[in-house]
Structure 1
Amino acid sequence: MTTSTTARRLRGFSGAGYDKGRGVLTQAAWFAVLNLVFMKWWFPPRLRPPLLRAFGAHVGQRVLIRHRVRVQWPWKLTIGDDVWVGEDAWLINLEPISIAADVCVSQGAVLCTGSHQRRSPTFEFDNAPISVEEGAWVAARAVVLRGVTVGKGAVVGAGVVAHRDVPPGAVYTTGGAG
């Protein structure tokens, strides 16, 4: 275990270098639509891709997005054809998330482009994009962290935290690569 002697002074946090990509009215409109319509069980899955497109996302054909899926900023999201996103998935895209064709992001999975500089006394952002390549699978409750590329056909197994790139075809499970 490594100890840190950095004294936190969160009051000084500036958020320097983070651009939300749209103005406050668009952000507010998206949060209203997300929470009042997009995530609801009664909102038809076939209407979720067009709604994301209306807010600037690039979404391919035959994309299935289940209910309770959260997307931070649609305008920073690209999804290819024939993608499935399962219930309770969370796409925290402070930076771009790119999901290629034939990808499955399973129930409760989290793709998080945001982090903080742990040695910064004001805990400034340390964000980076995420890319999930063609045919990959991010299984139930798996987490993909900022800056990671999940390679073509790779699997991030249930409950696994991918904190560095996953090579094409690799299978990461809670027991390690397999």
Structure 2
Amino acid sequence: MTEREKLERGLWYDANNDEELVGARRRACSIAFAFNQTDPADAARCEELLRALIGSMGEGVEVLAPLQVDYGCNVSIGDGSFVNHGAYLMDGAPITIGRHVFIGPNFGAYTAQHPLVARERNQGIERALPITIEDDCWIGGDVKVMPGVTIGRGSVVGAGSVVTKDVPEGVVAMGAPAKVVRPITDADRVL
């Protein structure tokens, strides 16, 4: 089994000594660099670079530079979503961002896990678990999402939170680690 096949199955794999994976990360790094250096007024070129970098991107998506990814091809962003400055999408496993998701600045989505035992960690192995942010979520600034987490439809995650476990739909969660503080109700309407 190749290291990519292990990665795709959520198994422990060697990300650092496999030519295919290293090459894929270099390619993504180069495209992200070009995107990050492009004048934002050149919207056509920015979109061209994003579409070359991101695995699947819907219509009306806006991503602000700088953006960093590991592979890019494992990221999907749904229609009408917005990703603010400074996002790092560590996409060893799929990162799925639904439709109409608002993501604040300095967002981190980290799919990689490393062994807890130093001797094993020092061998350079890791595994990656998917992250899903369902439709209509709002993720505040400086939020970090850990491997294997799903954030349910319509939920809000408060700024500075570290999301270590799934968040159900339709709630406000915050903290480090993030915990559900309350449901979102009709009392939250502003219009």
Task: State whether structure 2 residue 126 is matched by structure 1 residue 125.
Answer: yes
- 41 and 140 in structure 1: CA distance in 2 versus 1, 3 angstrom threshold: farther
Number of residues paired by the alignment?
Answer: 163
CA distance in 1, matches of 2:163, 2:83: 18
Mean alpha-carbon deviation: is it higher for 112-121 or for 143-152? 112-121
Q: In structure 2, how many angstroms separate the alpha carbons of the residues matched to 1:18 and 1:46?
A: 37
Whether the 8 Å CA contact 1:49–1:59 is kept in 2: the answer is: no
Q: For 1:81 and 1:159, how far apart are their aligned partners in 2?
A: 25
What residue is the counterpart of 2:35 in the other structure?
Answer: 38
TM-score scaled by length of structure 1 = 0.80
What SS is found at the alignment partner of 1:74?
A: coil
Paired amino acid for 1:17: Y
Q: Which has the higher contact order (CA 8 A, sep 6+)?
A: 1
Q: Which runs of 5+ in 1 are unaligned?
A: 1-14
Q: Which one of the candidate residues 173, 176, 180 is aligned to 1:177?
A: 180
Counterpart Cα distance in 1 of 2:120 and 2:72: 28
Alpha-carbon distance, 1:18 to partner: 5.5
Equivalent position of 1:17 in the other structure: 13
What is the percent sequence identity of the aligned residues? 26
Task: Classify 1:23/1:172 alpha carbon distance in 2 versus 1 (closer, same or farther; 3 Å).
Answer: closer
Alpha-carbon shift at residue 30 of structure 1 (Å): 2.6
Superposition TM-score, scaled by structure 2 size? 0.75
Structure 2: which 5+ runs fail to align? 1-10, 182-191
Higher strand share: 2
Give 2:93's aligned amino acid. Answer: E
> Structure 2 residue aligned with 1:114, among 91, 100, 112?
112
Question: Which residue in the other structure is 1:100 paired with?
Answer: 98
The 5 Å alignment of 1:1-178 reads 16-17=12-13, 24-35=22-33, 37-40=34-37, 42-43=39-40, 44-55=42-53, 57-119=55-117, 121-123=119-121, 124-174=125-175, 176-178=179-181
User: Superposition RMSD on alpha carbons, in Å?
Assistant: 2.5
DSSP-derived class of the 1:111 partner? strand
Q: 1:34 to 1:157 in 2, by over 3 A?
A: same
